């Protein structure tokens, strides 16, 4: 337990024993995880520049950069060696989430309350593609571990899968919770599973199988299910809810 700031999101570094927290005060902080020789977590760096609360943060695959989104409608990219803002990207009305594609250190996917997804090439300092198809504010976006397939979910409860090579119409679209879908997670590539996990505003966690259209309700929270994710092996599913509870399931093969 470390005294920091009021944090809404935590992201773990892909290589080092570090993590970031993003806050309602518009700042992010980089921390070192405790070790046997250093039992207390250490604050290494902080970044300020957003004029509204932070909604998400994402490390680049090489761990050298951090991307953030905010209620100020910008997507920002930060140099973690110095804590400096490299880019401030505008394109969304109220950006909700950002995700570095695992296959590339300069491509980012973001979502917004404007019903859109934007694919950014940070080398060009602008968005490269606009992805439309949602009829409601998009709450979350992510990709599989190859970066070839992306997933998004919206406030109306719709979940969509996208081919990041063509960026045409959605590969798959399905309604889930009538109370909205808050977060989506894809089972890691190479696990032999196509399952998509969804955290619903109605408190339920659902597993979708796009090829068959089958939907399984695996559990629920009192209040909204806020976040959901698979572990790296795809064997375990975790969710956290507005009830303050983290639930863990072993995925059936």
Interval 150-184: pLDDT, tens: 999 999 999 999 999 887 789 999 999 999 999 99
| pLDDT confidence bin for 80, thresholds 50/70/90 | very high
Furthest-apart CA pair in the chain: how many Å? 52
Tell which residue, 42, 43, 7, 2, has the closest CA to residue 27: 7
Tell which residue, 156, 46, 138, 159, has the closest CA to residue 95: 138
User: What pLDDT was estimated at residue 217?
Assistant: 93
Alpha carbon of 226 to those of 117, 184, 210, 235: distances in Å? 20, 10, 22, 20
| pLDDT confidence bin for 227, thresholds 50/70/90 | very high
For residue 65, give both structure tokens. 């950069």
Per-residue pLDDT averaged across 226-236, rounded?
92
Tell which residue, 59, 31, 67, 58, has the closest CA to residue 46: 31
Measure the CA–CA gap between 85 and 114, rounded to whole angstroms: 24
4 against 173, higher pLDDT: 173
Domains for the chain: give ranges and CATH numbers.
133-253 (2.130.10.10)
| Cα angle for residues 121, 122, 125 (degrees, 5° grid) | 100
| Cα angle for residues 192, 175, 156 (degrees, 5° grid) | 125
Which pTM was predicted?
Answer: 0.91
List b or e across 10-35, with b for residues whose CB sees 16 or more CB atoms inside 10 angstroms.
ebebeeeebbbbbbeebbbbbbbeee
Interval 97-144: pLDDT, tens: 999 999 888 999 999 999 999 999 988 888 889 999 999 999 999 999
For tokens 């996917």, the residue is 109
Measure the CA–CA gap between 218 and 239, rounded to whole angstroms: 11
Q: What does DSSP assign to residue 80?
A: T
Alpha carbon of 150 to those of 31, 142, 169: distances in Å? 29, 6, 12
pLDDT surpassing 60 at residue 1: no
For tokens 């979708």, the residue is 208
The DSSP element (H or E) to which 152 belongs, if any, is: strand 149-154
């Amino acid at each position: 337990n470390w005294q920091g700031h009021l944090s809404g999101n935590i992201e773990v570094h892909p290589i080092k024993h570090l993590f970031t927290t993003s806050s309602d005060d518009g700042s992010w902080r980089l921390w070192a995880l405790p070790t046997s020789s250093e039992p207390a977590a250490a604050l290494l760096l902080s970044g300020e520049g957003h004029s509204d609360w932070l909604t998400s943060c994402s490390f680049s695959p090489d761990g050298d950069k951090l991307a953030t989104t905010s209620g100020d409608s910008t997507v920002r990219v930060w140099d973690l060696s110095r804590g400096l803002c490299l880019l401030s990207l505008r394109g969304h009305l109220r950006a909700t989430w950002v995700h570095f594609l695992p296959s590339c250190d300069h491509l980012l996917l973001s979502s917004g309350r404007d019903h859109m997804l934007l694919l950014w090439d940070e080398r060009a300092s602008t968005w490269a593609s606009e992805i439309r198809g949602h009829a409601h504010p998009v709450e979350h976006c992510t990709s599989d571990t190859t970066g070839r397939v992306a997933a998004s979910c919206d406030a109306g409860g719709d979940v969509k899968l996208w081919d990041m090579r063509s960026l045409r119409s959605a590969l798959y679209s399905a309604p889930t919770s009538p109370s909205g879908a808050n977060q989506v997670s894809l089972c890691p590539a190479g696990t032999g599973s196509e399952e998509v996990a969804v955290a619903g505003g109605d408190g339920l966690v659902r597993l979708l199988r796009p090829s068959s259209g089958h939907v399984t309700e695996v559990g629920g929270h009192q209040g909204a299910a806020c976040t959901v994710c698979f572990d790296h092996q795809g064997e375990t599913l975790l969710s956290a809810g507005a009830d303050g509870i983290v639930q863990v399931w072993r995925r059936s093969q």
